Amino acid sequence: MRVYGFKKDEQGFMDIENTLQAEQEFVGGLIECTVLTEEIDLVCNDEGWLIGLEPRVMIRELETIIAGDCFICRHDRQGNFKSIKDEDLELINSKVKPISEEALFKAVLLNYFGLL
């Protein structure tokens, strides 16, 4: 299955097996899905923050920071994961932003101190 992945310093289209085991291996644990659109999900580690994974991406609309490696894929009506398409890249870039130190610093100020 073709996904758009965020893995440490790597970002881009990647291929993984379309199995629960391969998906869990990619994110480093139990998976959690966040809906980006009616057809596209962001899949991440359900316990990323609890086990101390590094912040990886921010979902702009939700103002949510995802900890740990994650990937974006499509899903069908039954909820089965499907490959992402080249034309989805513009949508991905509009909804998901790789975390930078500056973005993380702003998020900490906003969430913990009520500043900004």
Domain locations in the chain as residue ranges: 2-113
Q: What is the pTM of this model?
A: 0.86
Task: Flag whether pLDDT at 105 surpasses 90.
Answer: no
Task: Flag whether pLDDT at 26 surpasses 90.
Answer: yes
Distance CA 109, CA 116 (A): 7
Task: Flag whether pLDDT at 103 surpasses 70.
Answer: no
According to the model, what pLDDT value does residue 104 have?
A: 65
Tens digits of per-residue pLDDT, 55-66?
Answer: 999 998 888 889
Distance CA 50, CA 114 (A): 22
Task: Flag whether pLDDT at 116 surpasses 60.
Answer: no
According to the model, what pLDDT value does residue 61 have?
A: 86
